[in-house]
Amino acid sequence: MMPYIAVQVISYCSKDAEEDLKLLISSLERVRYPQDRWELIFIDNPSPQGMMRGWIEATVLPKAGVTLPRVRLLCSDKNDGFAGGHQRGYEARSAETDVLFLLNQDAYIEPDTITHAVAAFDDSHIALVQSQIRLAQDPSRLNVLGNCLHFLGFGFSDGNGQTPAEASRSRLPHFFGSGAALFVRVQALEPYGYLFDPVYFMYHEDVDLSWRMRLLGFDIAFPENSIAYHRYEFSRSTAKFVWMEQNRWRTHLSRLKWRTLLVFMPAWVLMELGALVFAARSGYLGKRLFAYRFFFDPNVWSDIKKRRLETRRLRLHTDRDMLAMMVGRLTSQEVENVLLKYLVNPLLNVYFRGLLRFIVW
């Protein structure tokens, strides 16, 4: 019997929401996967512009059992973010659910995207499967081939803006799968008991999920024939910057051993000092300083302590194993930085290569 799939979509009212959802629903209506073996779950998060509940009830629910499989709508009076919303979907899953498919509202898929991704789960060592994510604005080019993790916790997309042929020459290890189009084996989550920690709200929750799966000894697949399209737009905002930085720190402080973090400290401090200088010159020093309040919040350290105990209890891989899947250079950045490219990256890469020889735990 084919695995039962729960497609989870966080709906959020924005100026492009209706057009995005029309494309998404249209693509789901063309899915070639047995209709009795999958369902669609909308988790509607409120926004300042309102909710998508009315549109979904009027436009999508009538299609259930006709052009779509079973459709469920979960609503909340509180915006739980990407992490909290998907966690609610996970908690509301049907007992028969084998695989979750986390799909962005501003994405859409091909008829066989699900079938090709599910095939990767024939390997019992695979916990996560990320579709090849292409740019909706230019489907000949990629948004995400796979995702790299820098040893200081920065995550970045490999292949963004490149053609699949160009990106195929990449030799970078792909540490984590993007939550924009990510399949998750439900059984692999059982030791942890959750999908995403709602404290992440948005950004880096997929990094932490991939960390947890890899610590358990699972791997991540990136099949080229499972394709999704994402209307990706690079943007800068205070909220985005703060969440990305704080969740980067949260993840590394939760998953690496203290002695590893101690060895990282010189590079980490230098990177932070450089980031402060760059922020001051770029006009967002205030955002950077605001993010540092993270380190002075007792609740943060209580949460990190809890997560470190979880890591110690469940991990099957050493820090050395995990570092071998990371990188020492920050590449594929949206904004070119000469200092990063010609000074910081070479220095950090040499430092990282030295650490790989030194760290044996």
Given this model, what pLDDT does residue 334 score? Answer: 60
Indicate if the pLDDT at residue 333 is higher than 70.
no
92 contacts 74 by C-beta, under 8 angstroms: yes
Per-residue pLDDT at 45 exceeds 70:
yes
Residues 228-257 have pLDDT tens digits of 999 987 666 667 888 999 999 999 999 999
Closest CA to 101 of 84, 116, 81, 123: 116
Higher-pLDDT residue of 335, 295: 295
The CATH number assigned to the domain with range 5-230 reads 3.90.550.60
Domain boundaries, the chain: 5-230, 238-358
Stretch 42-64: mean pLDDT: 93
User: What's the Cα-to-Cα distance from 249 to each of 166, 226, 235, 287, 300, rounded to whole Å?
Assistant: 32, 32, 21, 16, 10
* pLDDT reported for residue 222: 98
What is the β-pairing status of strands 227-230 and 132-135? parallel
Residues in the chain: 361
CA 99 vs. chain centroid, Å, equals 16
Report the pLDDT value the prediction gives residue 303, as an integer from 0 to 100.
Answer: 97
**86 vs 179: CA distance, rounded Å:** 10
Q: What integer is the mean pLDDT of 320-324?
A: 97
Q: Given a cut of 70, is residue 335 above it in pLDDT? A: no
% of the chain exceeding 90 in pLDDT: 81
Q: What is the pLDDT of residues 175-231, one digit of tens each?
A: 999 999 999 999 999 999 999 999 999 999 999 999 999 999 999 999 999 999 999
Per-residue pLDDT at 331 = 83
Residues 90-144: tens digit of each pLDDT:
999 999 999 999 999 999 999 999 999 999 999 999 999 999 999 999 999 999 9
Say what the pLDDT of residue 340 is: 76
